[in-house]
Amino acid sequence: MGDYSKALEFYEKSLEIRKKALPSNHPDLATSYCKIGLVYNNMGDYSKALEFYEKNLEITKKALPSNHPDLATSYSNIGGVYKNMGDYSKALEFYEKSHKIYEKALPSNHPSLATSYNNIGGVYNNMGDYSKALEFYEKSLEIRKKALPSNHPDLATSYNNIGLVYNNMGDYSKAVEFYDKDLEITKKALPSNHPSLATSYNNIGQVYNNMGDYSKALEFYEKSLEIKEKALPSNHLELATSYNNIGGVYSDMGDYLKALEFYEKSHQIFEKALPSTHPLLATSYNNIGQVYNYMGDYSKALEFYEKSHQIFEKALPSNHPSLATSYSNIGQLYNNMGDYSTALEFYEKSLEIRKKALPPSHPDLATSYSNIGQVYNDMGDYSKALEFYEKSHKIKEKAVPSNHPNLAGSHLSFAVCYEKMGDYTTALKALKNAYEIQQKAFEEGNAAFSFTYSRLGRVYRSMKDYSKSLDYFQKCLAIDKKTLPENHPDFGITYSNIGDVHRLMGDYEKAITFHRKALNIQENVQCNPLECATTYINLGETYRQMKDYTTALT
């Protein structure tokens, strides 16, 4: 916060002098308004940023001809604020005004035209229209290839942006290909401790995290952090971003204490560097809340989710996609707590915003329908659950390529629902569909297969095919052992499942061994208390069947 307040102080001093010394439509006044708008934009105070950018535009319109490139810059700045506010139609409107001027005023291979295509591509990416995003990013790249030397940083930016779209589309090999091109240029063009090199490593880390290759993700995130720690002051926002990303990997790995450690490091920097209503602070509270949610500490989770939500409500317009995400997270928490009516209330608020703010094929809308389906599934209203899962699946089929992991997620949701309905044949078919997509999207042994194997184990257990069930649970266990830390809560679930199959097969000694392994994790690691309760039931049932009634009761 200190740097921004200092910047504002000096920009405002400059503005006061210029107001007294210059006529009201002087271009230097426009420059002052622009600089102040930029600071407010960086601070996350978007309404203030708009106020000053519009003052800049007002002067620029009067002072300059209608096809002047500076007027294009003014429109572009306003477009950028609307993009940050999540008002993508307004963002496109201003970016396109800017682009029309550039097209008239500049030669066809001018770098500013490339930047303009890039900005429009960024809006389409946020809207989830990935084919449009690629179209504009590729136009930008084409110009930069002609206009710039082969090792220019702006070329690296183009490769990076195209990599980002492929990452969002779930085409991770393509994403890595473009991120590697970005990294190659950045390494040649910039010194080894340049923050842009850190960004390149960070992006590659993100792809590996999405692929479930957590050790690779950590390797690249730590390379990124190492550069930032050398190149930047200790309270720089980029350092906070690195700590946040590393926290995210540990959270995905189930190492929640490590995740909290890094999220809190990140949060401390955000608190010092940003105003109390900045959206990044809200995101930070949200991440900490999410870890407490995973740990089953729902009151703590709610505390952090509500802090996050209060900031979003103050900082963002009422239909901003980040507010929808906030409602969704609170909904998920209530669902985990078994308060299904409140969960539905929050999920529906989230859906309402997404319907207004996003195009009908946006993946976030699919997520909303899927979440509502999950609540109905947990409530035992399977026909309603399937209705919402179907809505979600139809959007995903339009929005993402056929081998996207999110489509596998749809089939897994169908499988869980059909399994609970006792329709094991359809459940198996859905699981096989999920497995086929995962085989195309991931290498064998990827963490994503673990859940699929676990569900296959459950279905075969319900079908009383215990040898097949055991085989799949053991496959699940083998993947978890390769991809997760040894005390991950998922081991508790898998050991409990294996124990239960041994009980059903009449091998009570083995059943007890695995249930004890499950309890050893569940009693010593923060995890969902309901999972521990299930293991106690399974253990009690095993002792009851052994006719050891005293131990069953304990």
pLDDT, one tens digit per residue, over 243-291 is 999 999 999 888 888 999 999 999 999 999 888 989 999 999 999 999 9
CB half-sphere exposure, 286, CA atoms < 13 A: 22
Do the Cβ atoms of 396 and 410 come closer than 8 Å? yes
Q: Which long-range contacts (CB under 8 A, 24 or more apart) does 227-235 make?
A: 227/192, 227/193, 227/194, 227/195, 227/197, 227/198, 227/201, 228/195, 228/198, 230/193, 231/193, 231/194, 231/195, 231/198, 232/195, 234/269, 235/269, 235/272, 235/273
Q: According to the model, what pLDDT value does residue 525 have?
A: 62
Give the N- to C-terminal CA distance of the chain in Å, as an integer: 56
> Residues 160-212: pLDDT tens digits?
999 999 998 888 889 999 999 999 999 999 899 999 999 999 999 999 998 88
Q: According to the model, what pLDDT value does residue 522 have?
A: 81
Of all residues in the chain, what percent carry a pLDDT higher than 70? Answer: 97
Model's pTM, two decimal places? 0.82
pLDDT at 530 over 80: no
> Residues 444-463: pLDDT tens digits?
888 889 999 999 999 999 99
CA-based nearest residue to 139, from 113, 164, 163, 157: 113
pLDDT at 2 over 60: no
pLDDT at 549 over 60: no
CA-based diameter of the chain, in Å?
Answer: 96
Q: According to the model, what pLDDT value does residue 58 have?
A: 96
Place 411 in a pLDDT band, splitting at 50, 70 and 90.
very high
CA-based nearest residue to 353, from 316, 310, 319, 325: 319
Name, in order, each residue with C-beta under 8 angstroms of 100's C-beta and a sequence gap of 6 or more. Answer: none
Helix, strand, coil percentages for the chain (3-state, nearest 5): 80, 0, 20
Mean pLDDT along residues 473-498: 89
Task: Give CA separation, 219 vs 168, 459, 526, in Å.
Answer: 21, 37, 26
Q: According to the model, what pLDDT value does residue 548 have?
A: 59
How high does pLDDT run on average in the chain?
A: 92
Q: According to the model, what pLDDT value does residue 260 have?
A: 97
Q: Which long-range contacts (CB under 8 A, 24 or more apart) does 396-401 make?
A: 396/363, 396/366, 398/361, 399/128, 399/130, 399/361, 399/362, 399/363, 399/366, 400/130, 400/169, 400/170, 400/363, 401/169, 401/170, 401/171
CA-based nearest residue to 321, from 124, 108, 95, 126: 126
pLDDT at 334 over 70: yes
pLDDT at 32 over 80: yes
Residue at token pair 């504002």: 8
pLDDT at 436 over 60: yes
Tell me, rounded to whole angstroms, the distance of Cα 525 from its chain centroid: 26
Q: At what angle do helices 279-294 and 321-336 cross, to 10 degrees?
A: 20
Q: According to the model, what pLDDT value does residue 554 have?
A: 60
Do the Cβ atoms of 242 and 253 come closer than 8 Å? no
